[in-house]
Structure 1
C-alpha cells in the first residue's frame, strides 16, 4: 500500500452528516483542600459546550487563555474524561455500547500539540517515533518504517538526513513536521491542532500552515485548529468558534464572523488584532479587567462584568446560542428582541 496515496475513508452518512459532534461537554477540576473545608469547589473549565465539525472543514477555536480551548480539545480526543456530555463520530457514539470503540476512534482522530519537543520521545530516532504507533496497532515493523520514511518526505524532511536523528538535533519547525507526520501515520480523518504553530517564527509558521493546507486537500482531512493568533485562524479556517470562560459565545463562517461579529466579546478580540493601517490604530483597550474567577462564574452572561453594553437582564438570564444570520450563532441578549435588553434588535437589523 502506498502511504502517500490520497485517502478515501469510509463515509457512513455522506457529506451532510457531521464528522464529529460534541453535545453538552462538561469538565470541572476539583480543588485541593475543598474536601476538608466541607464544601466541594471546582474549576469550571468546560461548561456545556456543543458544536459540530463538518467533514472536510477547518474549525478554528479561539478565545483568551483559560477560556477552555485546550481542555475542549482534550475532551474531543478523549485524553480527559468528560464529567458530562457525549461525542458522536460520523454517526456513531464514542465509547458507548454499539458505538465506535475507543481504540478505533483514536486511530481516526489524532492531535498535534504546541510543545514540539515535549511531544516526542527524546530516546527514539524520529523515524522510530513515527513508526511506533502503527506498529502497536498491528502493522509489520518493516511496513511501519517504510510508511514513516514516506511521511517524513511528505512533510518536507529528507529521510536520509533526518530519519535517525533525535528530537534535540532538530529545529522547532522540523520537530513540528515530525509531529504532523506521526499524526498522519494512523491515516486519521480528523486532526486536532492545539496551538501547533504558536511556538514557531513567522517564516517557519507560514511553511507549516501551507503544508497543513496541502495535506488537507490531498488526504481529505478535517481540522480543529486552536490558536490565539486570529490572523492565522482567519487564513486557515472555514468556520470559527469563540469561547469565553468555558462556554461557546459565537460560532459562524470565518468571513461573516470577522466582518460582522455578533457578540461583544468577539468584537473585542477582533479589535485587538494588529493593523498595518495607520488610520486603524487601537487607541483604547478593547477589554478592561480580567476574566471572572472560573471557580465561581458569575450568574447570567459570564461576559457581563466586562461588557460595555451589559444591562440588568445580563445578570439574571443566561443567553442562549441563537441564529443571527449568515449561518452564524451567538449567545448574547443583544440579538434576542424577547430578552428585555434595552438595546436588543433582531439579527437582521443588527449593525
Structure 2
C-alpha cells in the first residue's frame, strides 16, 4: 500500500500468511474458503505467477529459485483459470492455442498440431469441427475443455484448477468434473482444486484445506472433515450449504459479518471477531495447528482443540454442535 507524493510504502496486504501444506503425488487437494481468503493467491504462488516474499516452494524435491527455475516449474505444473474466455488468446484458433506451448518448448509444428488434435479429441471436442474455430465461437464449457487440453499439452504432473467449473451450468459442470477424473487416472495427474462449492470439492478431492483470511484453519481427508468439522469456521461453511431436505433448513445464519480487513488483520486467532466461541485467549494468542482426535492427517488451528491453550472448552468433544 503506497500513498503520498513520493509514493512511499505505508502498509501491505498479507494475502497468504504462514500457509504450509503438501500435495502427494496422484491425489486431489481441494481448497475452500470465502472470497478473499487467499485461495487464488495460493494457486498463483504454486504455479509461479506470484513471487514468494518468504518461505519455499518445493516441487519433486527441488526448491524453486535454487534447484528449479520457473521454466522447469512450468514444465511440470500448469493452471486452468476460472474465466475460460479471458485466459484464451482471441486471435489464435483452438488448434494454435493448444499447440503454442509445445512449440515454445521446441516441438516441431507438425508434431504440435498432431498433439493438439489428439488432445481435442480426448477432451470431447472433435478436431474436424473445433480445431479451426476461435474462442468466441465456443460455449463456456467448450472453452474450459480447451483450457484443460492446453494444460495437458505441456505434459504436466500437477494441474492447479482455480474455480475451473464455477462459471458453468450444472449439467456442463458435471461433464467437466467427470472428464477431470478420467484424465487424472489416464495421465497420472495430481490436482489442486479450488472451489466455493463444497459438494464439488467432496466429489473430486481426497483431502480438503480450509482457508480464512490468508491462513489455513483446517486440513484433512474429505471424509474426516465431513464427519467432524473441527474448526468453527469449517462448521459455519458447512452449515451454509443449501439443503434439499425441507426439514433441514438453515433458519439462523451460521456466520455474521464480513471478514476483517487483510491490511490490518485481528491479533491472535483471525476468526475470533466472528466466532461464537471466542474468549480472551483467542484475541491474544495465535492458535497452533493440532491433530484432531489424535489423527495424524487431520489438523485444525483452534484454541478449543489445544488442551493447554487456556480456552474453557478445550477439553470437550461436542463443542461445535451449536455452530453446525
Band the TM-score falls in, shorter-chain normalisation = over 0.9
- Paired residue for 2:203? 235
* 2:286 is aligned with 1:332: no
- CA deviations 1:85-115 (Å, max 9, x no partner) are 111111111221xx12221110100000000
For structure 2, the residue ranges without an aligned partner over 5 or more in a row are none
The counterpart of 2:137, out of the listed 169, 177, 181, is 169
Q: Which has the higher strand share?
A: 1
* 2:312 is aligned with 1:342: yes
The counterpart of 1:123, out of the listed 72, 87, 91, is 91
Structure 1 segment 97-246 matched on structure 2, within 5 A: 99-246=67-214
SS of 1:314's equivalent in the other structure is helix
SS of 1:218's equivalent in the other structure is helix
- Paired residue for 2:55? 85
Instruction: Please say which of residues 229-238 and 321-330 is displaced more in the overlay.
Output: 321-330
Deviation of the 1:33 alpha carbon: 1.0
TM-score, structure 2 normalization? 0.95
Q: Does structure 1 retain, via aligned residues, the 8 Å contact 2:206–2:222?
A: yes
* 2:280 is aligned with 1:300: no
* 2:37 is aligned with 1:71: no
Q: Does structure 2 retain, via aligned residues, the 8 Å contact 1:197–1:205?
A: yes
For structure 1, the residue ranges without an aligned partner over 5 or more in a row are 1-30
Q: Does structure 2 retain, via aligned residues, the 8 Å contact 1:34–1:40?
A: no
Structure 1 segment 1-80 matched on structure 2, within 5 A: 31-33=1-3, 40-80=10-50
Q: Does structure 2 retain, via aligned residues, the 8 Å contact 1:111–1:192?
A: yes
- CA deviations 1:311-349 (Å, max 9, x no partner) are 010011000111114420000000011000011127799
Residues of 1 paired with 2:215 and 2:5: CA distance? 27
Deviation of the 1:186 alpha carbon: 0.6
Residues of 2 paired with 1:111 and 1:321: CA distance? 29
SS of 1:231's equivalent in the other structure is helix
Q: Does structure 2 retain, via aligned residues, the 8 Å contact 1:225–1:233?
A: yes
User: Which 4+ residue blocks in structure 1 deviate beyond 6 angstroms?
Assistant: 346-351
Q: Report the number of matched residues.
A: 319
The counterpart of 1:321, out of the listed 283, 289, 294, is 289
- CA deviations 1:211-231 (Å, max 9, x no partner) are 000000111100000001111
SS of 1:252's equivalent in the other structure is strand
SS of 1:49's equivalent in the other structure is coil
Q: Does structure 2 retain, via aligned residues, the 8 Å contact 1:95–1:102?
A: yes
Residues of 2 paired with 1:65 and 1:35: CA distance? 32
Residues of 2 paired with 1:309 and 1:278: CA distance? 28
